[in-house]
């Protein structure tokens, strides 16, 4: 009888663990087809040289929207985005930063020679409207304002995803 009770308890614990894992996975997903809500009033931090922000990007057919709330060593901003900028002129890359210190992102842009504008959003307006769950960084790949997939340049075949986004 005792052996049976232990088996039941073990099965219940495994079931509860699997359920919690599934629920947690669902909380951090952003469903395909979700309409992105841009924070159009974010302060634009343009690089000293390079691409300047244009508000028409908010309405572009193809967008890669990158959100980060920190600049740690593993920040999504630290990927080498340049090949994707160069190979995909029809895609608008929009970066949101929600860290507390504007000077930190400005310093980072100079130190890394980052040549794209960043939308500064310390109140996390973009995050609140678009991110489900808790994350320090995420990449939305959109077509006509709707999320198509969440892959990022850490995937070796990211350009294939971008080609798919563009319909190539």
- Report the pLDDT value the prediction gives residue 117, as an integer from 0 to 100: 97
Q: Determine which of 32-36, 58-62, 80-84, 146-150 has the lowest per-residue pLDDT on average.
A: 32-36
- Indicate if 25 and 76 belong to the same structural domain: no
* 106 and 78 within one domain: yes
CA gap 164, 159 in Å, rounded: 9
Q: Are residues 82 and 48 in the same domain?
A: yes
Q: What is the pLDDT of residue 134?
A: 85
99, 54: one domain: yes
Greatest mean pLDDT range, 25-29, 37-41, 69-73: 37-41
Is 9 in the same domain as 43?
no
Per-residue pLDDT for 39 more than 80? yes
pTM: 0.81
Query: In which domain, by residue range, is 111 found?
Result: 31-166
Judgement on whether residues 116 and 41 belong to the same structural domain of the protein: yes
pLDDT of residue 29: 53
With a cut of 50, say whether residue 28 has pLDDT above it.
Answer: no
Residues 22 and 47 in one domain: no
What's the total number of domains in the chain? Answer: 2
Span 96-127, pLDDT tens digits: 999 988 999 999 999 999 999 999 999 999 99
| Res 36: pLDDT | 96
**Pairwise CA distance, residues 68 & 127, whole Å:** 9
> In this structure, are 37 and 25 located in the same domain?
no
pLDDT of residue 72: 87
Residue 27 has pLDDT above 80, yes or no: no
Same domain, 26 and 38: no
Task: Let me know whether 61 and 11 are in one domain.
Answer: no
Q: Are residues 132 and 162 in the same domain?
A: yes
The predicted structure's pLDDT at residue 25: 43
Residue 88 CB neighbours (<10 A): 17
CA distance readout (Å), 147 to 21, 42, 136: 24, 21, 18
Same domain, 57 and 69: yes
């Amino acid at each position: 009888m005792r052996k049976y009770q232990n088996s039941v308890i073990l099965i219940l614990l495994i079931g509860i663990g699997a359920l919690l894992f599934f629920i947690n996975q669902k909380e951090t997903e952003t469903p395909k087809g979700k309409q992105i809500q841009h924070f159009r009033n974010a302060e634009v931090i343009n690089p000293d040289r390079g691409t300047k922000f244009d508000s028409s990007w908010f309405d572009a057919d193809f967008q890669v929207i990158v959100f980060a709330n920190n600049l740690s060593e593993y920040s999504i901003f630290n990927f080498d985005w340049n090949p994707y900028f160069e190979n995909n002129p029809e895609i608008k890359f929009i970066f949101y930063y929600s860290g507390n210190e504007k000077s930190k992102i400005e310093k980072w842009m100079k130190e890394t020679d980052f040549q794209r504008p960043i939308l500064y959003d310390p109140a996390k307006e973009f995050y609140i409207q678009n991110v489900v769950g808790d994350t320090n960084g995420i990449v939305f790949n959109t077509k006509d304002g709707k999320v198509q997939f969440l892959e990022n340049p850490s995937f070796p075949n990211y350009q294939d995803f971008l080609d798919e986004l563009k319909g190539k």
